[in-house]
Structure 1
Amino acid sequence: MAVYDYDVIVIGSGPAGEGAAMNASKKGRRVAVIEEQEAVGGNCTHKGTIPSKALRHSVKQIIEFNTNPMFRDIGEPRWFSFPKVLKRAEKVMSSQVVLRTNFYARNRIDVFFGTAEFEDKETVIVRGTASGDETLRAKNIIIATGSRPYTPDDIDFSHPRIYNSDTILKLSHTPRTLIIYGAGVIGSEYASIFSGLGVKVDLINNQERLLSFLDAEISDALSYHLRNNAVKIRHNEIYDNVVADERGVILTLKSGKKIRADAFLWCNGRTGNTDMLKLENIGLDANSRGQLVVDDHYRTQCDGIYAAGDVVGWPSLASAALDQGRAAAADMLDAEDFRYINEVPTGIYTIPEISSVGKTEEELTKECVPYEAGQAFFKDTARAQIYGQPVGMLKILFHRETLEILGIHCFGEHAAEIVHIGQAIMAQEGESNTIKYFINTTFNYPTMAEAYRVAAIAGLNRIANL
């Protein structure tokens, strides 16, 4: 068995692993990356963020073609199958793999394809590489193995009609009806995708409302638009059992309801990928969800071992994972660019798209913060009218007395892009982070960005009229 010595070993090549590896390499360290899949990119590229967002974009284009009267000069509305739409996503995934493979090659990072196991806190065995088992040694190791769908034992995921958010990407047909259990971010996104393809969707939510961490007004807007697209949302429901046969799937809920559909998609919870690492050899224990506990420098309880990304839990976003990986590498190498990742914008790629940063109205009310809200509705902005995308709103929450911006909440086309303007101003210090910035700044016209000026004027008018 060959033995290789490195300065840093990174287990996993998703966003967290990539961020850690690149940062360590740029600082002159010799880096090895271990990836259990056949290509770099992790679950983000192959099973999660990239394929689902590419699917969403294609479905959005289909909806545009089928609902815009202008396209009737080209042809009649068309039906597109899920496998056909998936081919477009696969092209994006392949492009991402090529891009990321070049990153590692350009930075002279060695990539080992196989399964990682700890032998001790400075030694990792890589099982199943093209050359057999390999031994890697380093004093600094970062665990960035990500997560996978949680799959309860009482559901038969081997049945061809039962899927989770990974295996759904192997769906070879388009069901007429679909049950989605779990109305979190992933479940809501897939509800948008399948309903956009004309599939009748039942979305089962075990909470009182969709995405309860969102501002209530934004959550309500998502519920409205999903229902408007024929999604049946069932709140406060918990499954009792799921039974599948050659004719379909029957979901029985603890409330006594029974729902039949052609297929069933489980989107309820995720588990950290730690069970194959042999953590017992280094004295580490994962929690009941397979996640590792870290401090505010991404250090585990084992000296020299760090963890970042989905494997540590919150916020389980690709954007945050990349920064967490970079931060972990910076801390272990005593670099000056360390920062703890705590201000993370939320991007949810439903139809309509949702994004937010900062406090919600409910949080500010609970904290007794005197705030006001300024809103701009996309239907009233010229750029949205030009796009033919009138659905959406931008809401700015700000302190009534200091005018400091406290939260930005947006839904509609390009929401995940628009929110970063507000995020940048919120990060400024002194008087630069107040709502007056949007009044005193000239925006291009027509743009979606001018919604900030409209919302700011509306908000200031509300307090001026008292």
Structure 2
Amino acid sequence: MHYDLVVIGTGPSGQKGAIAAAKMGKKVAIVERNRKAVGGVCLHTGTVPSKTIREAILFLTGYRQKEVYGERYSRKRHIQMDDLRKKLSEVVGRERRVILDQLERNFIDIYDGEAAFVNENEIEVANKDRSVRLTADYTLLATGSKPHRPTHIPFDGETVFDSDEILTIERIPRSMIVIGGGVIGIEYGIMFAALGVKITIVDGQDTLLGFCDSEIVDHLMFTARSLGITFRTGESVRSVKQASRNRVIVELESQKKIVGETAFFSVGRKGDTEFLNLAAAGVEVDKRERVKCNENYETSSPCVFAVGDVIGFPALASTSMEQGRQAASRIFERKKVSTGEIPYGLFTIPEIAMVGKTEQELTAEKIPFEIGVSRFEELAKSQICGGHDGLLKLLFHRESRKLLGVHCIGDTATEIIHIGQTIMAFDGTIDYLANAIFNHPTMAESYKVAAFDGLNRLCADVDDCLGTLFEDASEHDVDPVAIPATVVDTTLETTSVS
């Protein structure tokens, strides 16, 4: 069978790339190891499962409600792993049916089996029943990633496990050592801490989540410690040993030993390219088996493109979808579309979201900026829902007032971040937020509160404010000396929507 495009992998990037090409009138095939695995890592072991488990934990523990109704709402000691997995099978099943329907109604042929290149234009797809060969003008690699599993770590799926296996453990342990303080490690660590599990997070970096705003990270660390999490940063793991079925010993390079019931290993991921025979197509990979490509998703082979987690950073489902669409457009229409600033969302407890520059980046680039902050405890909606632990920070240019970055931590952070993203896409200023009307009570009101706070900070420069006042006074034949000093102070009132 010959196709204009063969897509290998049915995760977010593969799906959207295949559908985009089909809508251009191209003949498209998509390959997945097993039809039950349609949706890829995102649907079966990554994004969707972890977020579904998170919501189950928040609901069953009464994490949000206990702030409103007190500790009596919580019953976390009686929660079992099967309770957390009940909703998961339903969500995955529905999403899988949606994906299959989308592929079929766009007349995309679906092949089950392991794909391997014969040459850059020919692919063999083999399963236990048969083997077929497909030829294509172009191939789009969207095979995703899998956990990095060093050979010296004694994985058994029960006491020592990775992010794929954590979803299948039989019971909720009393303690867990999380090796790796990246996004996955932090997310799962805080989730299980909310269940009452004693968590220790070990990471080689002195500062966790270095790509995030430092104030936001500090806020998250405070919340995590309040849940009983212990952080061992700047520490490297020497060995992991299973002392017994319910006892794991993690030895650090500093000679420390940490003992727990379980160990969760989450130190990076690698490209899922092991069986593709990429050498036959002339496609190069890095030491983590991720496909090397340029900004147009072109690999070292002119007929092969790559998108999604298999190419590495940023490895987000949201960006992967757009990469798939853009790659299809690049292949068949030679178009390149700018996506603007990419929003990031971390589904920790509480959530973290960001778009644009951080304070550290703006300072390093010597860009004059000011900040505006809204604390969720000021918002009526936050008080109503019991999620007043959080803040929204706006970074904007002191002179043009153009919005440069938005950073948020708290309930619904990953939702409301898109308001800031939209304003930045149109080069909007903080004045729009100050003047706009937001529904009350909503979490979106935090933008208006933060905008007022930022504008007040601009007026905190006494010389500038007095200069402006004197200019206004001279225009109206008013003696500037007669202007009371308290005028300046009134601009520093506390920020609130009212």
TM-score, length of structure 2 as denominator length: 0.89
Kindly tell me: are residues 281 and 378 of structure 1, through their superposed partners in 2, closer, same or farther at Cα, counting changes over 3 Å?
same
Query: Would you say the 8 A contact 1:179–1:265 is kept in 2?
Result: yes
Q: 1:428 aligns with which of 407, 410, 426?
A: 426
Q: Corresponding residue for 1:8?
A: 5
Deviation at 1:159, TM superposition (A): 5.9
Kindly tell me: are residues 78 and 199 of structure 1, through their superposed partners in 2, closer, same or farther at Cα, counting changes over 3 Å?
closer
Instruction: Report SS of the residue matched to 2:394.
Output: strand
Q: Corresponding residue for 1:79?
A: 78
Query: Would you say the 8 A contact 2:76–2:195 is kept in 1?
Result: no
Asked if 1:35 corresponds to 2:32, the answer is yes
Deviation at 1:292, TM superposition (A): 1.2
Asked if 1:445 corresponds to 2:440, the answer is yes
> How big is each residue's C-alpha offset from its partner over 1:133-157, in whole Å with a ceiling of 9 and x where there is no partner?
1111111110000100011111121
Instruction: Report SS of the residue matched to 1:125.
Output: strand
Q: Corresponding residue for 1:461?
A: 456
> How big is each residue's C-alpha offset from its partner over 1:171-217, in whole Å with a ceiling of 9 and x where there is no partner?
11111110110111000100111111111111112111221110000
Deviation at 1:464, TM superposition (A): 1.1
Distance in 2 (CA, whole Å) between partners of 1:264 and 1:453 is 44
Instruction: Report SS of the residue matched to 2:62.
Output: helix
Instruction: Report SS of the residue matched to 1:7.
Output: strand
Which amino acid letter does the alignment assign opposite residue 228 of structure 1? S
Which amino acid letter does the alignment assign opposite residue 40 of structure 2? G
5+ residue gaps, structure 1, are: none
Q: 1:184 aligns with which of 174, 182, 191?
A: 182
Which amino acid letter does the alignment assign opposite residue 443 of structure 2? M
Query: Would you say the 8 A contact 2:293–2:306 is kept in 1?
Result: yes
Distance in 1 (CA, whole Å) between partners of 2:460 and 2:157 is 62
Asked if 1:374 corresponds to 2:369, the answer is no
Asked if 1:141 corresponds to 2:139, the answer is yes
Deviation at 1:75, TM superposition (A): 9.0
Deviation at 1:246, TM superposition (A): 2.2
Q: Corresponding residue for 1:273?
A: 272
Distance in 1 (CA, whole Å) between partners of 2:66 and 2:384 is 15
Deviation at 1:160, TM superposition (A): 3.2
Which amino acid letter does the alignment assign opposite residue 235 of structure 1? T
Q: Corresponding residue for 2:398?
A: 400
5+ residue gaps, structure 2, are: 462-498
Instruction: Report SS of the residue matched to 1:386.
Output: helix
Distance in 1 (CA, whole Å) between partners of 2:70 and 2:213 is 36
Which amino acid letter does the alignment assign opposite residue 99 of structure 1? V
Distance in 2 (CA, whole Å) between partners of 1:134 and 1:15 is 25
Asked if 1:329 corresponds to 2:324, the answer is no
Q: Corresponding residue for 2:381?
A: 383
1:101-180 alignment to 2 at 5 Å?
101-128=100-127, 131-158=129-156, 160-180=158-178
Q: CA RMSD in A?
A: 1.7
Deviation at 1:76, TM superposition (A): 6.4
Find the structure with the greater CA-based Rg.
2
Distance in 2 (CA, whole Å) between partners of 1:59 and 1:161 is 21
Query: Would you say the 8 A contact 2:77–2:195 is kept in 1?
Result: no
Kindly tell me: are residues 269 and 438 of structure 1, through their superposed partners in 2, closer, same or farther at Cα, counting changes over 3 Å?
same
Instruction: Report SS of the residue matched to 1:34.
Output: strand
> Among the aligned pairs, what percent are the same residue?
39
Kindly tell me: are residues 201 and 362 of structure 1, through their superposed partners in 2, closer, same or farther at Cα, counting changes over 3 Å?
same
Distance in 2 (CA, whole Å) between partners of 1:339 and 1:86 is 39
Q: Corresponding residue for 1:67?
A: 66
Kindly tell me: are residues 74 and 440 of structure 1, through their superposed partners in 2, closer, same or farther at Cα, counting changes over 3 Å?
closer
Kindly tell me: are residues 465 and 157 of structure 1, through their superposed partners in 2, closer, same or farther at Cα, counting changes over 3 Å?
same
Deviation at 1:82, TM superposition (A): 2.2
Q: 1:25 aligns with which of 22, 38, 57?
A: 22
Distance in 1 (CA, whole Å) between partners of 2:99 and 2:183 is 26
> How big is each residue's C-alpha offset from its partner over 1:99-129, in whole Å with a ceiling of 9 and x where there is no partner?
1111111111111111110001111101106
Query: Would you say the 8 A contact 2:61–2:76 is kept in 1?
Result: no
Q: Corresponding residue for 1:221?
A: 219
Aligned residues: 458
Which amino acid letter does the alignment assign opposite residue 378 of structure 1? F
- Quick check: 58-67 or 229-238, which moved more? 58-67
- Quick check: 405-414 or 36-45, which moved more? 36-45
Deviation at 1:81, TM superposition (A): 1.4
1:213-362 alignment to 2 at 5 Å?
213-244=211-242, 245-334=244-333, 336=335, 338-340=336-338, 343-362=341-360
> How big is each residue's C-alpha offset from its partner over 1:398-457, in whole Å with a ceiling of 9 and x where there is no partner?
00011011100001000001100000000004xxx1111101211111111111110001
TM-score, length of structure 1 as denominator length: 0.95
Distance in 1 (CA, whole Å) between partners of 2:411 and 2:254 is 37
Kindly tell me: are residues 346 and 74 of structure 1, through their superposed partners in 2, closer, same or farther at Cα, counting changes over 3 Å?
closer
Which amino acid letter does the alignment assign opposite residue 90 of structure 2? K
